[in-house]
């Protein structure tokens, strides 16, 4: 019996004549709020990207660095607000729901653009899983190396292989990936959001302490020096790569619709989502400005690519250990927040193609003492496990944190954060072509396209440079 059929048997109504158990689409009542949505967003946004912001600021300097951070925050908030209006087609209260980003593109743009969106979105989600696996292994290695430096001195070799740590992270993700869907990972997002604030605050505190101890603010107005540190061409490529790193730090639009689909109504989901977006982007921008600027102020041109694992800081070693453990815990949750839409897409497609297959549709109750039985699905178990294994192996083969972050930021920023939200909003609101607002939106989209192309070029140049000294299955120390 379908959920829609179940709805006809739900005679329990509230004072407005609405079902207490089901929403207007026949699905179980959504319970998300502005705070759970904010937790999901913060979990997705304040991720490993924050750790590269001091390095990104160092490439751009005191003028361009903070300015670019603010511009990206504004664009992200504005286009996210546009995208939130596309959750329902037509009326914001009673219109047809779009459950995924692709559903929204299909309802508003249709045709070939849906396929393009799907390829970009799911490749980006796949890439994020790789990036988070690399980042988590680097943090686990940093704990080991931090204790080694404390014991043997700062100049000890303390070389550590990333392979076992990536495998450990992969095993954890195999377990957590069996959580069926978004609605059941709110607790994981809240824990991850707390962890993100923990390590960001520690990184910020260490940067402030370094500046206070030396009494000197490092850095320059134009960033890393040409000649002494890098060549003129390297300066250009690194500046472009920094744009990609900052874009990655703000990217979450690709899962915005999926987050919005967890929200209860009334009020209208778009209204709640805009509040959650404002809260989340404001909070993350403050953190980003502080972490990026104080990290640059502490280390100047020598700012490490990863603030907490690049060993600009050595002491207190136990505080660095806490920060890096918090990063790992956060990335365990963030991995799931990003991958759930991809998991759901594959499983829905498999169900549509093979609706009578017991392997795909049958759920087995696994008893858990003191809790409700866990519903285990064989297809979900096998395919999600294979997915995690593939991302883990690729991470072992290409462990370039900054380059991967830059590529992901460049690849996903323009199409998913800017182009599709702008085009869908124009259709949704029936904005006339060549009107003032239409022209402004197209100028915004065009400018962001140029930035994305530049960021992609810089990041790929970084990969080419890294490959010249690369050894497989070994994370550079």
Let me know: does 84 contact 270? Beta carbons within 8 Å.
yes
Q: What is the mean pLDDT of residues 412-420?
A: 86
Confidence check: pLDDT of 369 > 80: no
Percent pLDDT > 90 in the chain is 5
Q: 393-413, pLDDT tens digit by residue?
A: 888 877 665 566 667 767 778
pLDDT at 389: 93
| Strand spans (E) along 390-470 | none
Give the DSSP H or E segment for 365. strand 363-366
> Which 8-state DSSP code applies to residue 376?
E
Q: What is the mean pLDDT of residues 277-304?
A: 84
Distant-in-sequence, close-in-space partners of 447: CB < 8 Å, separation ≥ 6: none
- The C-alpha atoms of residue 360 and residue 379 are separated, in whole angstroms, by 5
Q: 304-322, pLDDT tens digit by residue?
A: 776 666 545 556 778 878 8
Confidence check: pLDDT of 239 > 90: no
DSSP three-state, residue 374: strand
DSSP H stretches of helix in 251-361: 256-260, 269-299, 317-353, 358-361
pLDDT at 8: 44
386: confidence class by pLDDT, cuts 50, 70, 90: very high
Confidence check: pLDDT of 185 > 90: no
DSSP three-state, residue 26: coil
Which of 42-56, 138-152, 307-321, 439-453 tops mean pLDDT? Answer: 439-453
Name which of 72, 68, 98 is nearest 83 in CA terms: 98
**Count, residues in the chain:** 477
Q: 66-116, pLDDT tens digit by residue?
A: 999 999 889 989 998 898 888 888 777 777 888 888 888 888 887 788 888
Name which of 407, 404, 415 is nearest 449 in CA terms: 415
Structural tokens at position 243: 């744009």
Distant-in-sequence, close-in-space partners of 57: CB < 8 Å, separation ≥ 6: 65, 66, 69, 219, 223, 242, 292, 293, 295, 296, 303
Q: What is the mean pLDDT of residues 172-190?
A: 73
Largest CA distance in the chain: 76
The angle formed by the CA atoms of residues 82, 278 and 120, to the nearest 5 degrees, is 45
Q: 317-357, pLDDT tens digit by residue?
A: 788 788 888 888 888 877 887 788 788 888 888 888 888 78
143: left (phi over 0), alpha (psi -120 to 50) or beta: alpha
The angle formed by the CA atoms of residues 328, 65 and 282, to the nearest 5 degrees, is 60
> Which 8-state DSSP code applies to residue 157?
-
- Total-model pTM: 0.76
- The C-alpha atoms of residue 39 and residue 47 are separated, in whole angstroms, by 12
pLDDT at 439: 94
> Which 8-state DSSP code applies to residue 372?
P
């Amino acid at each position: 019996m379908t959920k829609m059929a179940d709805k006809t048997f739900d005679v329990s109504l509230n004072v407005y004549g609405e079902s207490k158990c089901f929403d207007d689409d026949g699905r179980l009542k959504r319970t998300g709020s502005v705070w759970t949505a904010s937790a999901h967003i913060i979990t997705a946004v304040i991720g490993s990207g924050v750790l590269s912001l001091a390095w990104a600021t160092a490439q751009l300097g005191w003028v361009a660095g903070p300015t670019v951070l603010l511009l990206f925050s504004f664009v992200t908030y504005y286009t996210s607000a546009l995208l939130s209006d596309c959750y329902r087609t037509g009326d914001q209260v009673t219109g047809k729901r779009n459950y995924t980003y692709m559903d929204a593109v299909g309802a508003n743009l249709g045709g070939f653009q849906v396929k393009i969106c799907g390829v970009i979105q799911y490749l980006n989600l796949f890439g994020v899983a790789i990036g988070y696996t690399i980042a988590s292994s680097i943090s686990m290695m940093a704990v080991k190396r931090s204790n080694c430096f404390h014991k043997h001195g700062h100049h000890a070799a303390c070389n550590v292989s990333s392979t076992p740590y990536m495998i450990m992270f992969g095993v954890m993700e195999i377990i957590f990936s069996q959580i069926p869907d978004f609605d059941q990972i709110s607790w994981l997002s809240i824990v991850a959001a707390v962890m993100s604030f923990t390590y960001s605050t520690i990184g910020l505190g260490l940067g402030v302490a370094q500046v206070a101890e030396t009494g000197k603010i490092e850095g320059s107005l134009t960033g890393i020096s040409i000649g002494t540190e890098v060549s003129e061409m390297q300066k250009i490529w690194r500046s472009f790569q920094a744009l990609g790193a900052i874009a990655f730090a703000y990217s979450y639009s690709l899962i915005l619709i999926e987050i919005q689909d967890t929200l209860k109504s009334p009020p209208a989901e778009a209204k709640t989502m805009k509040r959650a977006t404002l809260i989340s982007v404001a909070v993350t921008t403050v953190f980003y400005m502080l972490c990026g600027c104080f990290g640059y102020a502490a280390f100047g041109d020598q700012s490490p690519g990863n603030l907490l694992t690049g060993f600009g800081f050595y002491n207190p070693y136990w505080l660095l250990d806490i920060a890096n453990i918090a990063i790992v815990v956060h990335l365990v949750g963030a991995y799931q927040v990003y991958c759930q839409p991809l998991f759901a897409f594959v499983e829905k497609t498999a169900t549509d193609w093979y609706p009578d297959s017991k392997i795909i549709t049958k759920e087995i109750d696994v008893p858990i003492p003191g809790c409700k039985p866990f519903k285990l699905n064989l297809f979900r178990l096998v395919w999600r496990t294979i997915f995690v294994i593939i991302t883990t192996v690729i991470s072992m083969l290409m462990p370039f944190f900054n380059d991967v972050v830059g590529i992901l930021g460049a690849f996903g920023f323009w199409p998913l954060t800017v182009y599709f939200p702008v085009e869908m909003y124009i259709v949704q609101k029936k904005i006339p072509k060549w009107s003032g607002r239409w022209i402004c939106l197209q100028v915004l989209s065009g400018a962001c396209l140029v930035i994305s192309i530049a960021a992609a070029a810089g990041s790929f140049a970084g990969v080419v440079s890294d490959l010249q000294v690369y050894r497989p299955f070994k994370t550079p120390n």
